Amino acid sequence: MKGTSASPGIGLGRVLIIQNEELNIIKKQIESLEKEKERFLEAIQKSKIELSKIRDKAMKELGEDKAAIFDAHLLVLEDPELLDGTIKKIDADKVNVEYAFKEIANQFVSIFEAMDNEYMRERAADIKDVSNRLLRNLLGIKVIDLSLLEEESILVSNDLTPSETATMDKEKVLGFLTNIGGRTSHTAIMARSLEIPAVVGLKNITELLKDGDYVAFNGETGEVLINPRDEEIASYKKLKEQYEKEKKELEALRGEISETIDGRKVELAGNIGTPHDIEGLIKNDAEGVGLYRTEFIYMDRDSLPSEEEQFKAYKTVLESLEKKPVVIRTLDIGGDKELSYLKFDKEMNPFLGYRAIRLCLDKKEIFKTQLRALLRASVYGNLKIMFPMISSLEELLESKKILEEVKSNLQAEGLEYSNKIEVGIMIEVPSAAIISDMLAKHVDFFSIGTNDLIQYTTAVDRMNEKIHHLYNPFNPAVLRLIKMVIDNGHKEGIWVGMCGEMAGDKKIIPILLGLGLDEFSMSPISILPARKLIKSLKFEEMKEFTDKVMAMDNATEIEAFIEKSFE
Ligand code: PEP
Ligand code: MG
């Protein structure tokens, strides 16, 4: 099979299917209530056995702290109000146990979630977790704990949630294969930050494979072999060795300057989603952070993160990067990223809807809390603030006005912030690219977000596998907009970076270099290969090469021309 390459590396191993779709619980009228109660007791027993096993394993491998989480989960399964409440509901409403239990558990979750106390809100998450386990056991769906996998496996699923990728045991996961997603979907971005090989957009791979099947795949080409022959396995093993050897060799480039043969220096920065990604930045010798996607702080939880919580996360990143530049993007929720606790109306076109800066300018309290946390953290490093999805000058001016307001409030309260913070915007909407000459007069930098710029310019949904062939970074319209943004930025004397996935693509780097891009921000795993490439090029030659590319009118020809030129 062939899917979309999401994260480099070779995956070889046994399959573990992860069924993580939302559980669909239907209400049924029941005659034999005793049978329902029996099923309930059996499922509780089964869940307890599972949890005790996990707790013992956690105790051995992760320590007492982590094991305590599962003790708390076991206690939920003994809570008389939850258990008796369910039994009473079965009797009173004559309904199936799944429905009765879900209703009662939801009531508890809502009560805890509404509490003003962080500890109590965490209990809501425990109850949710345990009730999911219990419901799966009632429905006969296998429960897999990704943080405590027994054996090394290749995870195969429809998609993976950010919490699954965040908690999984990296030592045991040999790769991901998913039905949905493209190179810029969040599972793909996560796979690269975890440095786990992955192929996404395989359409129906979950139906074609079963637990225990053997697969071999190449995260760079998107090729997946199902139950391969011995000689195929041998050739993939060779590829794996070669990949690992090359990765080792690249380490020699740590500490070197990213500079062409004729002395054009650029900055190679990393994209991150959480402070956990700092390890990858350091390992891959990032020269800064070009994009910190702060929405991950807001995801996988039950309420908005407090100012203090955000402050701590931003401070950690700024301190770890010492004095290197750190571009932190304000909240970019909406599109494919939802927050369960902020319920908005269903939209026909979420990527064209209530998203990013539009939401922040509407819900100003959320925006101001984040800006306060950012400003307070600014004294701990070299912070640059970036607004996402700006599509007009008015939006930029209003965002800057709110930032100034928050600064004066802090000042009035006697709280410190740095007076050297650069403010920039993402250029990811075509209207912003087209008026980039005007926008450049009001910011300190631009960062081109090609993941969205491509989808908006060419009207191709970045998540839709059916039209993935049309999502093409070599489209001359996209290249022209990029050139325009870089030229307009430079005319006003500001630096121009790129934090979309194009910035780390070896085929495109020579053109971006030729166009004069100043900063390239990418998944940390791509940094050393990019440095190696840049050190082998001449800036003057790349300018001439880029002129030729810009005169071409066909994306396929452009791609072929680049491939041929750098064979
Ligand atoms: C982009 O759109 O290019 C970008 C970097 O932002 P995100 O992928 O988070 O939308
Ligand atoms: Mg974007």
- What is the per-residue pLDDT for 433? 98
Backbone angles phi, psi at 159, to 5 degrees: -160, 170
102, HSE (Cβ side, Cα atoms, 13 Å): 18
Please check whether residues 218 and 287 belong to one and the same domain. no
Q: Are 550 and 481 in contact (CB under 8 A)?
A: no
Please check whether residues 133 and 150 belong to one and the same domain. no
Query: Is 254 part of any domain?
Result: no
Tokens 């969205």 found at: 452
For residues 374 and 392, what is the distance between their CA atoms, to the nearest angstrom? 24
pLDDT digits (tens, 9 = 90+) for 285-339: 999 999 999 998 998 777 899 999 999 999 999 999 999 999 999 999 988 788 8
Ligand nearest to the CA of 389: 2
Please check whether residues 230 and 278 belong to one and the same domain. no
Task: Output the residue whose Cα is nearest ligand 1's atom 4.
Answer: 449
Is the CB of 337 within 6 Å of ligand 1? no
Last residue of a domain, one of 139, 164, 193: 139
Please check whether residues 99 and 200 belong to one and the same domain. no
pLDDT digits (tens, 9 = 90+) for 66-81: 677 788 889 999 999 9
Please check whether residues 52 and 14 belong to one and the same domain. no
CB-based burial of residue 11 (10 Å sphere; 0-12 exposed, 13-18 middle, 19+ buried)? buried
pLDDT grade for 56, boundaries at 50, 70 and 90: confident
Q: Are 459 and 469 in contact (CB under 8 A)?
A: no
pLDDT grade for 263, boundaries at 50, 70 and 90: very high
Is the CB of 293 within 6 Å of ligand 1? yes
Comparing CA positions, the residue from 493, 452, 487, 489 lying closest to residue 473 is 452
Query: Is 230 part of any domain?
Result: yes
Task: Output the residue whose Cα is nearest ligand 1's atom 7.
Answer: 451
Selecting among 73, 360, 468, 499, the annotated active-site residue is 499
Give the 3-state secondary structure of residue 5.
Answer: strand
Task: Give the DSSP H or E segment for 444.
Answer: none
For residues 393 and 442, what is the distance between their CA atoms, to the nearest angstrom? 9
Query: Is 274 part of any domain?
Result: yes
Amino acid identity of 129? D
Comparing CA positions, the residue from 553, 472, 476, 477 lying closest to residue 505 is 472
Is the model's pLDDT at 169 over the cut of 90? no
Query: Is 256 part of any domain?
Result: no
Please check whether residues 231 and 294 belong to one and the same domain. no
For residues 490 and 440, what is the distance between their CA atoms, to the nearest angstrom? 9
Please check whether residues 108 and 197 belong to one and the same domain. no
Q: Which residues pair with 495 in a beta bridge?
A: 445
CATH of the domain at 61: 1.10.274.10
| Mean pLDDT computed over every residue of the chain | 92
pLDDT digits (tens, 9 = 90+) for 499-508: 999 999 999 9
- What is the per-residue pLDDT for 127? 86
Distance between alpha carbon 295 and the CA centroid of its chain, in Å? 9
Q: pTM for the full model?
A: 0.80
278, HSE (Cβ side, Cα atoms, 13 Å): 14
Helix axis angle, 33-62 relative to 80-93, nearest 10°?
160
Query: Is 217 part of any domain?
Result: yes
For the chain, counts of helices (H) and of strands (E): 23, 15
Best residue for ligand 1 mutational test, from 193, 298, 451 (most atoms within 8 Å of Cβ): 451
360 an active-site residue?
Answer: no
Is the model's pLDDT at 473 over the cut of 90? yes
Backbone angles phi, psi at 317, to 5 degrees: -65, -45
Please check whether residues 444 and 522 belong to one and the same domain. yes
For residues 446 and 433, what is the distance between their CA atoms, to the nearest angstrom? 10
Last residue of a domain, one of 78, 110, 139: 139
469 an active-site residue?
Answer: no
Distance (angstroms) between ligand 2 centre and the Cα of 17 equals 30
For residues 225 and 346, what is the distance between their CA atoms, to the nearest angstrom? 39
pLDDT grade for 157, boundaries at 50, 70 and 90: very high
- What is the per-residue pLDDT for 296? 86
pLDDT grade for 247, boundaries at 50, 70 and 90: very high
Q: Are 184 and 449 in contact (CB under 8 A)?
A: no
CATH of the domain at 376: 3.20.20.60
Q: Are 215 and 224 in contact (CB under 8 A)?
A: yes
Is the model's pLDDT at 423 over the cut of 80? yes
- Lowest mean pLDDT across 3-17, 164-178, 241-255, 346-360: 164-178
CATH of the domain at 164: 3.50.30.10
Residue 73 region by backbone torsions, left for phi larger than 0, else alpha for psi between -120 and 50, else beta = alpha
Of 87 and 186, the structure prediction assigns the larger pLDDT to 87
Query: Is 257 part of any domain?
Result: no
Ligand nearest to the CA of 523: 1
For residues 397 and 90, what is the distance between their CA atoms, to the nearest angstrom? 58
Amino acid identity of 56? D
Is the CB of 188 within 6 Å of ligand 1? no
Written as six digits, the tokens of 32 are 């034999």
Last residue of a domain, one of 109, 139, 169: 139
Please check whether residues 551 and 450 belong to one and the same domain. yes
Written as six digits, the tokens of 317 are 């990143």
For CA atoms 75, 80, 86, 91, the dihedral sign is: positive
CA 328 to each of CA 399, 420, 518: distance values in angstroms, whole numbers, following the listed order = 15, 14, 18
Please give the tally of structural domains in the chain: 3
Please check whether residues 125 and 266 belong to one and the same domain. no
Please check whether residues 531 and 500 belong to one and the same domain. yes
pLDDT grade for 130, boundaries at 50, 70 and 90: confident
Alpha-carbon Rg for the chain in angstroms: 25
Query: Is 25 part of any domain?
Result: no
- What is the per-residue pLDDT for 302? 76
Is the CB of 449 within 6 Å of ligand 1? yes
Query: Is 178 part of any domain?
Result: yes
Average of per-residue pLDDT across 363-381 = 98
Tokens 């699923």 found at: 157
Residue 107 sits in which domain range?
33-139
Written as six digits, the tokens of 459 are 């009207």
Please check whether residues 130 and 237 belong to one and the same domain. no
Q: Which residues pair with 447 in a beta bridge?
A: 426, 497
Q: Which residues pair with 143 in a beta bridge?
A: none
Is the CB of 473 within 6 Å of ligand 1? no
pLDDT grade for 363, boundaries at 50, 70 and 90: very high
Q: Are 466 and 415 in contact (CB under 8 A)?
A: no
Q: Are 415 and 463 in contact (CB under 8 A)?
A: no
Residue 499 CB partners (closer than 8 Å, separation 6+):
271, 290, 291, 327, 426, 447, 448, 449, 521, 522
- What is the per-residue pLDDT for 186? 72
pLDDT digits (tens, 9 = 90+) for 453-465: 999 999 999 888 7
Atom of ligand 1 nearest to the CA of 186: 8
